[in-house]
Amino acid sequence: MRKLILSLSALVFIICSCTEDIDTSARYVFKENTVASYLEKHPEYSQYLELSKHVPVSGRSKSSVYQLLTARGNYTCFAPTNEAINKYLQGLVEEGLIAEPSWDAFTDSRKLDSIRKVVVQNTVIDGGDMESQRYTIVLISSFGSGKENAEFPLPNIYDHKITVSTSKNDTIYLDKDCPIDPINCDIPAINGVVHQLHKVIAPKDESCARYIQNILDEQREGYLMFAKALQVCGLLDTLSAVRDEAYESLYQAEGEALDMQNYMDKGGYDMTNIAGDPHAYAPEHRKYGFTLFCETDEFWQSQGIDPKASDAVEKLQEWIVSHNMYLSDGGYQVNTDYTSPKNMLHQWLVYHILPMRIPANKLVYHCNENGYFYGTVNKYTIPVFEWYPVFGGGRLLKIYESAESNGIYLNSFPERNNGITEDGHEGYCAPEKRGVLIETNSEKAVVTDIVNACIYPIASPLGYNDAVRENLGKERIRFDLFALFPEAITNGIRRADSPLGKWQHVFVSLYNRYQYFDNMKIMNEETHFIHYNGYRANWANYSGDEDKAFGHFDIMFRLPPVPVRNTYEFRYKLLATAARGIVQVYFGSDPNNLPVAGIPIDMTKNVEAFFGEGATWADLSDNGKDDDAIIDIDHKLRNHGLMKATKHEHDSQVARDKNNCSRHIIVRQTLDPGETYYVRFKSVQPDLTRPELYLDYFEYCPKEIFDSPEKPEDIW
């Protein structure tokens, strides 16, 4: 929140009903009230209203939340009733924090301020200057395409992202157990919308390490076996990290100085300038995060292992060995040195952890894949996937969902209808290749109380064995640039579902002063890197977003590992426009001495221009050609180090049908899973008439796919 404007203006809006055919006679509707004045007219909110006068909007603001709710804006207010607040106070009594359920019972002023802040700041979401960011019931129900435990697009002013789920009677719950009143909801105000709550939103916001330690201290069943494994492997300290205080100090000290002021003057070609805002905004925080996929105690008990037994950890390691949940050539040690990365239990455990916090609705991204459109709820089409390096790197974990899979899976390897004239959908999946179901809807899913992690139960055991590695090694692995950055996912930057300017254009360049993304290095002070979120922008980009570097750019990225030693093509996707520059690409394993990879790429050129030989797009496109002709053209393009884009993503047409979308084969060489590889993009533009570097996605493609003697590589 950058400004608080204390003026009022009447706004015109559509009032959405909470549910169909409800009794509206008991519903309060005051179209000329602010949120604050509406609450003042209803005594059931008197405690909440009084508290709001004592709670600041943020640590950098002297204004109270009450003043915020009197001001111009677009606020969503989840107002707890007096009864809800009294129940919350009674809960504090039962926890031993206060002697009686009264605000006068607090003897420590700091504790009083902290509790009031929890109660009040968790109730308000600031939608900025956009009325579309007032969260009505219709919008809330659509979050995450209707997935349970989906997070709101915007955090509340407590900097907590509320989750939403729905009961069988269609009651909407916030943070699992705070129901929105089905009658007193969607109450319109001049500056927002009010929903009544009968329970206070009060996440514990403890670290993952503290959550796990509490399980151990209480011997609490559910994830006790997993908690014991984390403890003996020495991972609790790592899971205690919440945010980077160095960045916090830098941001707080300099504020808007971190932003790219008038970035349009430096880029000048971006046509998605949101609401006339010429700036690109730096992230407010750099939080750490983790995602844990856990077998439950119930599963271990079914395997004859008692999580409460003194030898439970030893039994677990024996089970991993006896069930072949490891690589046969991994050289792992079966011993009690659990903190060693070579220990069998340690290796198995870290494969369950991703170094980023991923909410349930962002485990995969449904955005602009072929046949899918915004606004559809649970109407999926072709498969979508992510490949992420697990905690500690070295191995990939695949996350997958399709219209046919009936859920999100880890390491699923189905057959797909991916022929030239087929629909790209999942066809058949052998049971042994279906993978591990992530139970995002389970009551055991922990997505609200842990500030730096999400924990999801899984329906079957997860391991990295020879079969998993072999299946990963047979896949073309495509990864969006922002999938390289755990920080982008943890901090809600990647695919932020909001049109607000602060999420549409994100500036992360600080050159040698600070490195926000561990896997990206800005090589000179003339490079300005900006992420374009592309929220509903109708672009033919993978996942809808794209990234650019402006100026005499020089930028390097650390890449994910390959699954197996093999010959791979490493590819770069280009969407050519007149705004792009000329780039020399470098690729290799020594970041201080990367070899040149091919000749410079002129990013203004369309497919036919790269092909040359007087070709036209009509000559090269799929339109009007049979399978054999299409395959022959693709082969000729490959001889030029070039490929068409895919049929996966679309705007008004699929990317493969656009002559300005292409894939460039940067290198074709042997890559090893034990090596770390880097790619560097350096401007060779003699002037800045075309200053842009375009970035969307990369691909690893193994020889068995790009050079198959049986069938050509698919077009998806």
Q: Quick one: pLDDT at residue 168?
A: 67
Among 12-21, 112-121, 176-185, the least confident range: 12-21
- Quick one: which H or E segment has residue 288? none
- Note the pLDDT of residue 18: 37
Residue 4: is its pLDDT beyond 50? no
All structural domains of the chain, each given as residue ranges with its CATH number in brackets, are 35-197 (2.30.180.10), 205-242+288-475 (2.30.180.10), 247-286+476-706 (no CATH)
pLDDT at 255 over 90: no
At 146 the pLDDT is 63
CA distances 645 to 35, 421, 546, 559, Å, are: 49, 16, 15, 21
Dist. CA 157–CA 195, nearest whole Å: 16
pLDDT of 23 higher than 50: no
Residue 251 binned pLDDT confidence (cut-offs 50, 70, 90)? confident
How far is Cα 587 from Cα 600, in angstroms, rounded to an integer?
13
Taking only the tens place, the pLDDT of each residue in 549-600 is 988 999 999 999 999 999 999 999 999 999 899 999 999 999 999 999 999 9
Q: What is the mean pLDDT of residues 81-97?
A: 97
What are 348's two structure tokens?
A: 């198995």
pLDDT of 705: 97
pLDDT of residue 162: 96
Of residues 691 and 247, the one with the higher pLDDT is 247
Rounded CA separation 538/535 (Å): 8
Please give the pLDDT value at position 361. Answer: 92
pLDDT (mean) for 40-60: 95
pLDDT score of 419 more than 80: yes
Dihedral angle, C-alpha 325, 326, 328, 329, nearest 10 °? 170
pLDDT at 22: 29
User: Can you give the pLDDT at residue 510?
Assistant: 76
Q: For residue 268, what pLDDT is reported? A: 55
Please compute the mean of the pLDDT values over residues 227-244 and round it to a whole number.
97
CA distances from 499 to 69, 132, 267, 368, 502 (A): 22, 9, 20, 16, 8
Contacts of 253 (CB under 8 A, 6+ apart): none
Please tell me the distance from the alpha carbon of residue 482 to that of residue 547, in angstroms, as a whole number.
8
List Cα–Cα distances, 504 to 270, 277, 346, 537, 580, in angstroms.
12, 10, 40, 10, 20
* Rounded percentage of the chain residues whose pLDDT exceeds 70: 93
pLDDT computed for residue 222 by the predictor: 97
pLDDT digits (tens, 9 = 90+) for 681-705: 999 988 877 789 999 999 999 999 9
State the chain's mean pLDDT as an integer.
91
pLDDT in the model for residue 1: 38
Asked whether the predicted pLDDT for residue 27 surpasses 60, the reply is no
Q: Which long-range contacts (CB under 8 A, 24 or more apart) does 52-57 make?
A: 52/120, 54/113, 54/116, 55/116, 55/117, 55/120, 55/121, 57/1, 57/4, 57/157
Amino acid at 268: G
At 680, which amino acid appears? R
From residue 40, how far is each of 50, 125, 201, 586 by CA, in Å?
10, 19, 21, 63
Least confident of 330-339, 437-446, 494-503: 494-503
DSSP secondary structure letter of residue 282: P
What's the pTM value of the predicted model, to 2 decimals?
0.92
What would the pLDDT profile of 134-169 be if each residue is shown by its tens digit?
A: 999 999 988 866 678 899 999 999 999 999 998 767
Q: pLDDT for 276-316, tens place per residue?
A: 788 899 999 999 999 999 999 999 999 999 999 999 999 99
Least confidently predicted of 37-51, 302-316, 349-363, 374-388:
374-388
Q: 3-state DSSP: the chain helix, strand, coil percent, rounded to 5? A: 25, 20, 50
Read off the amino acid at residue 94.
E
Q: Is 391 helix (H, G, I), strand (E, B) or coil?
A: coil
Residue 6: the pLDDT is 30
pLDDT of residue 77: 98
**Residue 264 reports pLDDT greater than 50:** yes
Contacts with 188 (C-beta within 8 Å, 6 or more apart), sequence order: 13, 15, 29, 31
Using CA atoms, how far residue 72 sits from 14, 77, 233, in Å, is 18, 14, 52
16-20, 130-134, 673-677: segment of lowest average pLDDT:
16-20
| % of residues, the chain, pLDDT over 90 | 80
Alpha carbons 154 and 382: distance in angstroms, whole number: 28
